[in-house]
Amino acid sequence: MAEYDLVVRGGEVATGFGTARCDIGIRRGRIVALAERLTDAAAALDAGGLLVLPGGVDSHCHIEEPARGGTAGEPAVTVSEESFLTASTSAFAGGTTSVVCFVPQWKGEGILPRLADYERRAARGMLDYSFHQIITDPTEAVLEREVPEIVARGIRSLKVFLTYEPLHLSDEDYIKVLVTARRNGCLVTVHCENYAAIKWRTGALLAAGLTAPKYHAWSRPPVVEREATHRAIALAELVDQPIQVFHVSCAEAAEEIARAQARGLKVWGETCPQYLTLTAGDMDRPGFAGAAFMCSPSPRSPEEQGRVWEMIRRGTLDVVSSDHCGFSMGGDRGKAVNGRDAGFDAIPNGIPGLAARLPILFSEGVSKGRITLDDFVRLTATNPARLMGLAPRKGMIAVGADADLVLWDPRKKVTITNALMQHAIDYTPYEGLEVTGWPVATVRRGEVVMRDGVVQAEPGTGRFLPRGPYAMVQPRGVLENGFDAAPPRG
Ligand code: URP
Ligand code: ZN
Ligand code: ZN
């Protein structure tokens, strides 16, 4: 019997702390050797001329998430169109091998019924997965009995929304969740926008007949995000509970995070490719096309994008997730159908981006010289894995880690099309974007699941990833020997 089930040969292996030209020996789904010439292998994958990156870890994805408005007893149920099967194909096509997605809680219910349903859905896919538990109704039963139970099962993060009807929590309820998280050793992830402010501005815009998609951005300017970010952090400080601020879109909010970090608080910030490539101007496209770019917070201005890049370079924002949230433009529940008559507030929020995340960040970041390859590895794999308690099993190329790898051609030029995204959604907001750098093969736990864009994996082979407590993310640009590896600014 061969020593290795698979050897990945001759690639430039990106560790997040520099690269090394070596082979990767894989046995039973794990990396067992990193060395110059590994020979005794049942199969080999040639990585000559390519980078070998850790499989992407996308810690913010909405997949097959059943949503229900209002109160218990309300019958309408919508499931975001992406199933775990189609999301797996899309993720592998884009070089991502693990996701953390969201178990909903419907108001008036506990969390366990939805968890059981969601576990069944997730088990049908091919991606490895874990869950954030959304809390919309923090009753005593949920906080005292159900949260300890899900934590014991390896779900180590609670997600709260400070806006959205009917999901948003009052400050009082948010504090209750923080206290529960602290008792149970969970991270809290927070959608930071001010509910009352958005409600007020949306009402005024609609009353004035300003209903087009572009007014979504008018309904939630940066101050709305900054205020909620400040409050989320202040209350977390009060309770002494670590939080991650999701989808930071602007410098004002990132500066709140930077101040908290400078004071030693355990506050982390995530951003997404949409805040680096799309603008509020995209929502002003002719007809109803602007709805395709509508997500919350809204994409901002080109100047704001520059500021978000700077916050990534400084390390304030240390995770780049997709916030993949799949609603087609057409179809019964599509963005166009929902919003055209009723106005921008009826358009389903969110945009798809699971497959586009790595190519866009590589191209706009590494290829254009805004970030280093090490930064890229940490932002897309190592940091999310550490923060989500998935490391060292996920997010790094190291002996003992799962053999989740992406063979990456850093020079390949591709124009993004919806077909290349291989998702269930009828559009990509990145259509026509030219990128330099593209995944040519994806390996999940030692199995080649994508080669040259062709995804081949058995449905039902994705594994649930029970998580440990969060670990601090690795600081950007600082090598373990203490030298600052950041490129010179300017
Ligand atoms: O618009 C967005 N971001 N939709 C997904 C749900 C959320 O807020 O993360
Ligand atoms: Zn959100
Ligand atoms: Zn989201």
Q: Among 81, 325, 357, 425, which residue has the most ligand 1 atoms within 8 Å of its CB, making it the best to mutate? A: 325
**Which secondary structure element, helix H or strand E, spans residue 155, and what is its range?**
none
Q: Distance (Å, rounded) from C-alpha 63 to C-alpha 84?
A: 6
H/E segment holding residue 94: helix 84-94
Supply the residue whose CA is at minimum distance from atom 9 of ligand 1. 323
Q: For the residues 329-358, what does the mean pLDDT come to?
A: 85
Query: Quick one: average pLDDT of 131-146?
Result: 98
- The whole-number pLDDT of residue 69 equals 53
Q: Residue 488: what pLDDT?
A: 38
> Percent of the chain scored above 70 by pLDDT?
93
Could you tell me which of 346, 364, 392, 446 has the C-alpha nearest to residue 8?
A: 446
Sign of CA dihedral 9, 14, 15, 18: positive
Q: Is 295 in the pocket of ligand 1 (CB under 6 A)?
A: yes
pLDDT (0 to 100) of residue 481: 37
The CA-based diameter of the chain, rounded to the nearest angstrom, is 74
- Which of 58, 61, 62, 351 is the pocket-test mutation for ligand 1 (most atoms within 8 Å of CB)? 62
Whether the per-residue pLDDT at 20 is higher than 50: the answer is: yes
How many Å lie between the centroid of ligand 1 and the Cα of residue 76?
A: 20
Report, as an integer, the average pLDDT of 311-337: 90
pTM over 0.90: yes
Please report the pLDDT score of residue 338 as a whole number.
Answer: 67
pLDDT tens figures, 360-392 = 999 999 999 999 999 999 999 999 999 999 999
Segment 187-197, tens digit of pLDDT: 999 999 999 99
What would the pLDDT profile of 103-114 be if each residue is shown by its tens digit? Answer: 999 889 999 989
Q: Check pLDDT > 60 for residue 74.
A: no
| Mean of the per-residue pLDDT values of the chain | 93
Q: What is the pLDDT of residue 490?
A: 35
**Å from CA of 392 to ligand 3 middle:** 25
Å from CA of 454 to ligand 2 middle: 31
Domains and CATH numbers, the chain: 56-376 (3.20.20.140)
Ligand 1 touching residue 191 (CB < 6 A): yes
- DSSP code, position 254: H
Q: Is 325 in the pocket of ligand 1 (CB under 6 A)?
A: yes
- C-alpha 66 to ligand 1 mean position (Å): 14
List, for residues 236-285, the tens digit of each pLDDT value.
999 999 999 999 999 999 999 999 999 999 999 999 999 999 999 999 99
Answer yes or no: is the C-beta of 159 below 6 A from any ligand 1 atom: no
**Backbone phi, then psi, for 268, in 5-degree steps?**
-120, 155
Mean pLDDT of 281-310: 96
Lookup: tokens for 91: 């993720």
State if residue 349 touches ligand 1 by the CB under 6 angstroms criterion: yes
Q: What is the average pLDDT across 176-187?
A: 97
What average pLDDT does the segment 193-208 reach? 97
Indicate which ligand has the atom closest to the C-alpha of 349.
1
What's the pLDDT at 335? 83
**Is the confidence at residue 479, as pLDDT, over 70?**
no
Inter-residue contact 251 to 311 (CB < 8 Å): yes
193 lines ligand 1 (CB under 6 A): no
- Ligand found nearest the CA of 326: 1
- Mean pLDDT over residues 144-161, rounded? 98
Query: What pLDDT, on the 0 to 100 scale, is given for residue 474?
Result: 60
> pLDDT at position 3, please?
98
Q: How would residue 48 be classed by pLDDT, with cut points 50, 70 and 90?
A: very high
Please tell me the distance from the alpha carbon of residue 101 to that of residue 66, in angstroms, as a whole number. Answer: 12
245 alpha carbon – ligand 1 mean position (Å):
13
Confidence at residue 80, expressed as pLDDT on a 0 to 100 scale? 77
| pLDDT tier for residue 399 given thresholds of 50, 70 and 90 | very high
> What pLDDT is attached to residue 81?
85
Q: Is the per-residue pLDDT at 76 higher than 70?
A: no
CB of 160 within 6 A of ligand 1: the answer is no
